[in-house]
């Protein structure tokens, strides 16, 4: 922590914190904002201005979360156009005029950069919109800006610190500023939790939506790989990467998923909110994966399971979660091979604003700028990936087969068949560990790997607190089971109402 950060944290009195977080936007959902615009109490322009001011107050000045890496200079103009459409009697749907933030590895062809947080791409303008950006624009969302992230989605080196990037600096956890926001979608998680936007889009390869969502006290949905197009997203792994909604409520996650889901998959639904039911736990068969429970989470988990049983869920007490222990077998090699192929293809299509064209170029760039890029940790992962061969290598094909076998066939699919489950329930991870730039991340545990490696859906919902820090519960299951998971997650959320807004404390314990 530098001197300025230390003084900022020390001077955050309760009165200043309260003043920083008071806003009519606090905890407002997408439906609330639409209702306000419908009666003229708000407009897309007024919401865009209010969220932009709040970013200045929370992200730049007061607590200095540092979650937003760039504000869209065209946001007000876009909002004005959407307000004109509304006045003419046309609205595009639930996202019309709603300000949304995107993780800075999702391409937008506008005046914003897409850099994955790296200095190598700090001036890179994407040649075209990602499909995610196109669909959000078509749905009427205002792309308010880009969020900071763990550089290269936390796939650069050993001893990395989540939430840090060479371009964006360090993002902090809004519950305790000395705690880490976790995962690579750290900025998206912190921004949503702090009410800096109506919702955000993150990306996940393994845990990068679920982990920041749980430690930042929000809902995070990692969909089935292929439900949301990955075109125009800086890649790690084509078999595991996916974008997904990060919101304060399950309903808002369903609204965003409705806009993002691709009909080409053949499994997409036009409106995922229709699956939300307050009694969605009644009769649901759930297997609790005990292996992911941590000692300090025992009481929260006990309360969670009892609440679900009272709501009519059937929780399988003799659930054998041992097959999930092998789900990550082969994952490491798959990610290295696919990253090399994917990043080389992505960099090759960039314009003159990007000084690198290959992974080898990128490694060389970082070495040349090591005083800024490698000051806290290295690029060992990049080097290991560069040493890999093509996707036709026997070692890669065997690793893919191993992942499919242990995560899908003998993992999630077999367990759900054996116990006739609607979903598997697990502790999402957390609470947030203290940020340590010298030694890197301190593991907070997590249950993301089985669904991530399988390419299956996973949703985390706030479940309670440990030492004043939020923790979540995850529901994951078969491919394309988003409707079932949303139904269960919504019922759990409505039953427990566990989310508490952050207070931007300097520390908790």
User: Any idea which residues carry the catalytic annotation?
Assistant: 103, 184, 208
CA dist 362 and 365 (Å) reads: 5
Contacts (Cβ under 8 Å, ≥6 apart) of 287: 315, 316, 319, 321, 415, 416, 419, 421, 423, 424, 425
Contacts (Cβ under 8 Å, ≥6 apart) of 186: 67, 148, 149, 150, 162, 163, 171, 180, 212
| Other beta carbons within 10 Å of 478 | 21
Cis peptide bond N-terminal to 116, omega within 30: no
Of 323, 168, 154, the residue nearest 241 (C-alpha): 154
Q: Which two tokens stand for residue 458?
A: 């996973």
- Report, in angstroms and rounded to the nearest whole number, the Rg of the chain calculated over CA atoms: 21
Q: How far is CA 308 from the centre of its chain?
A: 25
| Other beta carbons within 10 Å of 50 | 16
Which helix (H) or strand (E) element contains residue 462? strand 458-466
What SS3 string covers 283-328? CCEEEECHHHCCHHHHHHHHHHHHHHHHCCCEEECCCCCHHHHHCC
Burial class (CB in 10 A: 0-12, 13-18, 19+), 317: exposed
Of 263, 254, 264, 308, the residue nearest 286 (C-alpha): 308
Contacts (Cβ under 8 Å, ≥6 apart) of 266: none
Of 266, 215, 220, 265, the residue nearest 243 (C-alpha): 220
Which helix (H) or strand (E) element contains residue 247? strand 242-247
Of 96, 94, 92, the residue nearest 79 (C-alpha): 96
Q: Which two tokens stand for residue 384?
A: 């290991």
Characterize the bridge pairing of strands 314-316 and 99-103.
unpaired
Q: In angstroms, what CA-CA distances link 74 with 26, 49, 112, 339? A: 24, 12, 9, 32
Burial class (CB in 10 A: 0-12, 13-18, 19+), 151: buried
């Amino acid at each position: 922590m530098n001197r300025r950060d230390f003084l900022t944290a020390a001077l955050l009195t309760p009165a200043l914190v309260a003043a920083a977080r008071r806003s009519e936007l606090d905890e407002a959902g997408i439906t609330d904002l639409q209702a306000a615009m419908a009666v003229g109490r708000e407009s897309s322009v007024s919401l865009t201005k209010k969220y932009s001011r709040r970013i200045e107050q929370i992200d730049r000045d007061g607590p200095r979360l540092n979650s937003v890496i760039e504000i869209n200079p065209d946001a007000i103009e876009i909002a004005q156009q959407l307000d004109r459409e509304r006045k003419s009697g046309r609205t595009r749907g639930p996202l019309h005029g709603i300000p949304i933030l995107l993780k800075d590895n999702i391409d937008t062809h506008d005046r914003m950069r897409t850099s994955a947080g790296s200095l190598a791409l700090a001036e890179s303008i994407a040649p075209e919109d990602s499909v995610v950006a196109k669909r959000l624009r078509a749905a009427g969302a205002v792309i308010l800006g880009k969020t900071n992230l763990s550089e290269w989605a936390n796939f650069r080196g050993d001893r990395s610190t989540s939430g840090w990037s060479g371009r964006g600096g360090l993002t902090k956890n809004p519950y305790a500023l000395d705690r880490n926001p976790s995962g690579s979608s750290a900025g998206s998680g912190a921004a949503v939790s702090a009410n800096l936007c109506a919702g955000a889009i993150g990306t996940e390869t393994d845990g990068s939506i679920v982990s920041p969502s749980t430690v930042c006290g929000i809902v995070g949905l990692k969909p089935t790989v292929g439900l949301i197009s990955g075109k125009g997203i800086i890649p790690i792994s084509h078999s595991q990467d996916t974008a997904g909604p990060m919101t304060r409520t399950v309903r808002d996650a369903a609204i965003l998923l409705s806009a993002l889901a691709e009909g080409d998959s053949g499994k997409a639904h036009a409106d995922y909110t229709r699956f939300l039911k307050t009694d969605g736990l009644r009769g649901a068969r759930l297997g609790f994966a005990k292996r992911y429970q941590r000692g300090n989470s025992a009481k929260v988990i006990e309360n969670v399971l009892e609440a679900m049983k009272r709501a009519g869920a059937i929780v399988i007490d003799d659930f054998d979660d041992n097959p999930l222990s092998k789900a990550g077998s082969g994952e490491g090699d798959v990610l290295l091979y696919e990253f090399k192929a994917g990043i080389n293809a992505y960099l090759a299509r960039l314009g003159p604003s990007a000084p690198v064209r290959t992974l080898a170029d990128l490694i060389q760039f970082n070495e040349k700028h090591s005083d800024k890029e490698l000051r806290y940790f290295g690029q060992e992962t990049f080097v290991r990936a560069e040493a890999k061969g093509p996707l036709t290598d026997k070692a890669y094909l065997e690793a893919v087969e191993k992942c499919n076998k242990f995560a899908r066939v003998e993992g999630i699919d077999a367990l759900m068949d054996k116990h006739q489950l609607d979903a598997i329930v697990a502790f999402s991870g957390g609470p947030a560990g203290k940020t340590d730039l010298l030694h890197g991340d301190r593991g907070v545990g997590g249950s993301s790997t089985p669904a991530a490696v399988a390419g299956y859906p996973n949703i985390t919902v706030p479940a309670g607190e440990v030492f004043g820090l939020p923790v979540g519960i995850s529901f994951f299951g078969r491919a394309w089971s988003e409707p079932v998971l949303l139904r269960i997650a919504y019922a759990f959320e409505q039953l427990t109402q566990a989310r508490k807004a952050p207070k931007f404390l300097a520390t908790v314990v």
